[in-house]
Structure formats: structure tokens, C-alpha cells
A = this chain, B = another copy of it.
Amino acid sequence: MNDFGKIFRFTTFGESHGKAIGVVIDGVPAGLKIDEEFIQSEMDRRKPGKNQFATARKEGDKIEILSGVFEGISTGTPISMVIFNTNQKSRDYNNIKDVFRPGHADFTYWNKYGIRDYRGGGRSSARETAARVAAGAVAKLILNQLGIQIESGVVEIGGVRAEIEDFGFAKESEIFALDKNKEQIWKDEIIKAKKSHDSLGGSVKVKIKNLPIGLGEPIYYKLDNVLASAMVSINAVKGIMIGNPNAHQLHGSENNDEISKDGFVSNNAGGILGGISDGEDVEFEVYFKPTPSIFKSQKTIDIHDNELDFKLEGRHDPIVAVRGSVVTEAMSACVIADMLLLNMTRTMENIEKIYKS
């Protein structure tokens, strides 16, 4: 079940240390200018190794388009993109070959499938999210045509919450911080965790602007439940809150968004009512657990059921939420692209617009 979406549907493949990872996107409308530089720039935003707040591991993440584009324009056929894993054979994984790393999928993959590509986490590695970012970049090209924008940034680290949400600042921040006053505190927290061989959780805010009213297909493919599915499918994400994250602690009179001629007076709903976009900014918060890869000794077992003390080696992100924010944007873009296409068929009026003109 490695595909996502109904019309704009992508399928990813590949293991962390296999030959390549990649994605096939089906349902991209024909006539879209495929800006390869933009796609690569999105890849680069997610790419590790850029500063001390992320893993020092280098991944080239060079995207290669294999199909679906002719003379720079999408043709309506599947767009396939691959990233070859350039140095996949370089390491020795004997130390984790038989061990179930705590907080990782090792235990469950082994028990489900009876076999597991242990090199760098195999399929369950966050490396897979590079393929999502590639798909999201193509989705964004569609959204850009319609003036829809997706922004994200870190809203909480180490229990310290942002008080400002400045998406412009986040874009430039090394840790995608939404609040410039909190950036240094958060950086310090990250370095502290790193130095103590530990890791940190965090949360990310996503905002989608200029959406048309009407996106979302009730009752089971609502805009919000599909966004929830998309977000929680991301490695290390454990939760999502749509709109005001404290809505469940409010009274109806506080939480309801009143409506005026000029639109909604407030936006506790996060831009979604009844699973359908209401024209306000779609806003939600995504919660990442701390990176499970830490360098402290932990108790675990191996595949032969031996108990042992395990200490991880290698290079890992001290916090997933930071680079993860790029992935939340990508998945959001894919959801919106799909919803845009689905929503086109909702009225006879639209059908006549296409077929009777």
C-alpha cells in the first residue's frame, strides 16, 4: 500500500540503502510546465548535511525524471522520478543486522514480513520521504498556477512554544523556526540534546493559503481526515490537530467562527467545515516524536530473543521535526492537488463548463 491519493496519485518505492528510491505520479494534468530546478530546490530544502542541527550525513538527492514530461511539459502520463543512492554500499551494518533498535520499525517489519533490509532502516527509513518531497514539488507546480501557497515552520521544541508565527522568517531559518525570538532557544536545546547523545521531539505548523472554497469529499475523503492520514503517514509523526489545537477545551460559543459578509470572523476551524475548505487559511499542527536514533545505551533484544544493551552508531538527526516540516508541506501539496482535481466533478454546472463550451 505504497500509494497515496485518488486522482493525483503517487506511488513511492525504494530502500534507504538500495539502488534507488523513487516515485511515480499518476494523474498529473497535461500541459503543466515541469520546472526541474524548482523540484530540485525542494529536494535540497529537505536534504540533510547542511548544518549542525541536522545529521551530517550527505545525501545527494539528485532527482532524475524518467517519464511523463516532453519538451518540459507534462503529457498526462505518469511522471516517474528516481534518486539513485550513490553510496549505498559504503557501510557496515553488522551491528544492527540482528538487533531491534528501540523506537524503530525493526521489530515490527521483522515480525510482519519475516525478512528485513536492515541497512539504514530499509524501507522504514526517513529517506523514503525524499520521494514524497519530489511528488510534493510537482503538486506545488499545479498549486502555483492557481495561486495556492503552502507554508510551514517549527512551532514548538522542547516544550517551548512559538509566540509569533512568521512563515517568512521560517523559510530563511536554519531550523525553520516560526518565531525568531525562540530560534536561539530552540537551537540551544537541539545542540544540548545532541551533545548528550539524545534527541528531541517537536511540532510543526502548516498553513495553506488562497484555497478555493469546496475542497474535500465528505464523508470519508474529507479535507481534514485526508490531511490527517497524510501527516501521520510521515515517519515519526504521532499526531495532528486541525485549526485551534485547544478547541476540545473550549465552549461552543468560544470555538464557533462567526460569519460576516467579508468571510469568517475567526478561524478556529482551521479553514475546514464539514470536511470541506471554507475559504479561510487551512491550518494545522503536526507532532513529531523525538528521533528514535540516539547514542545512549538502551535495553533491547535481537532476532534470537537475546536481551542486550544496545548503543547506536552513525549519524542521525537530533530532531526530526525540522527537516520533517518540508515533508509536511510536500504531503499537504499532494493532498490539495488531489482535492482540486476531485472537486472539479462535483456539480453538473462544472461538467457543462467542460463539455458544453
Q: Does A136 contact B (CB under 8 A)?
A: no
Contact pick for A222, options B102, B232, B352, CB 8 Å: B232
Shortest beta-carbon distance from A27 to chain B in Å: 7
Task: Give which listed residue, B76, B233, B350, contacts A29 with CB less than 8 A.
Answer: B350
Assess the B291–A252 pair: CB atoms within 8 A. Answer: yes
Say whether B241 contacts A230, CB under 8 Å.
Answer: no
The answer for the CA separation of A350 and B244 in the assembled complex, in Å, is 35
Q: Is the CB of A20 within 8 A of B67?
A: yes
Give Cα A73 to B158, complex, Å.
42
Given contacts A11-B11, A348-B30, A348-B142, are A225 and B232 in contact (CB under 8 A)?
Answer: yes
In the complex, A53 Cα to B16 Cα: how many Å?
45
Which of chain B's residues have a CB closer than 8 A to the CB of A206? none
- Cβ contact within 8 Å between B248 and A156: yes
Residues of B within 8 A of A294 (CB): 251-253, 256
Contact: A11 with B29, CB < 8 Å? no
Asked if A251 and B346 make an inter-chain contact with CB atoms under 8 angstroms apart, the answer reads: no
Contact partners of A80 in chain B: CB under 8 A: 13-14, 20, 22
Please report the C-alpha to C-alpha distance between residue A128 and residue B13 in the assembled complex, in whole angstroms. 20
Report the nearest B residue to A217, measured CB to CB. B1
Q: Which of B159, B193, B250 meets A249, CB within 8 Å?
A: B159
| Docked complex Cα distance between A29 and B250 (Å) | 37
Shortest Cβ distance from A128 into chain B, in angstroms?
6
Residues of B contacting A128 with CB < 8 Å? Answer: 219
Q: Report A192-209 residues with CB < 8 Å from chain B CB.
A: 193, 198-203
Interface segment, one of A55-63, A170-178, A267-275? A267-275
Nearest B residue (CB) for A309: B258
| Known A11-B24, A220-B233, A261-B305: A249·B158 in contact at CB below 8 Å | yes
The reply on A214 being an interface residue by CB < 8 A is yes
Instruction: For A80, give the chain B residue with the smallest CB separation.
Output: B13
Partner of A102, one of B229, B251, B258, B345: B258
Give CA–CA (A241, B203) in the complex, Å.
12
| A242 surroundings in chain B (CB, below 8 A) | 232, 238-239
Asked if A185 lies at the interface with its beta carbon under 8 angstroms from chain B, I say no
- What are the residues of chain B within 8 A of A347 when measuring CB–CB? 29-31, 76, 113-114
Which of chain B's residues have a CB closer than 8 A to the CB of A220? 1-4, 229, 233
Distance between Cα atoms of A76 and B24 in the complex (Å): 18
CB distance from A217 to the nearest CB of B (A): 4
Are the CB atoms of A145 and B348 closer together than 8 Å? yes
Q: Which residues of chain B are near A145, meaning CB under 8 Å?
A: 348, 351-352
Contact across chains for B341 and A345 when beta carbons are under 8 A apart: yes
Distance from A258 Cβ to chain B, minimum over Cβ atoms (Å):
4
In contact, A238 and B248 (Cβ under 8 angstroms): yes
The answer to whether B270 touches A104 (Cβ under 8 A) is no
Q: A290 on the interface (CB 8 Å rule)?
A: yes
Jot down 23 A-B pairs with beta carbons below 8 A, ordered by A: A1-B219, A3-B3, A29-B345, A29-B348, A31-B348, A66-B82, A70-B116, A75-B122, A76-B347, A105-B275, A107-B273, A112-B216, A146-B356, A201-B247, A225-B231, A248-B287, A252-B291, A252-B292, A252-B294, A255-B292, A259-B301, A344-B344, A344-B354
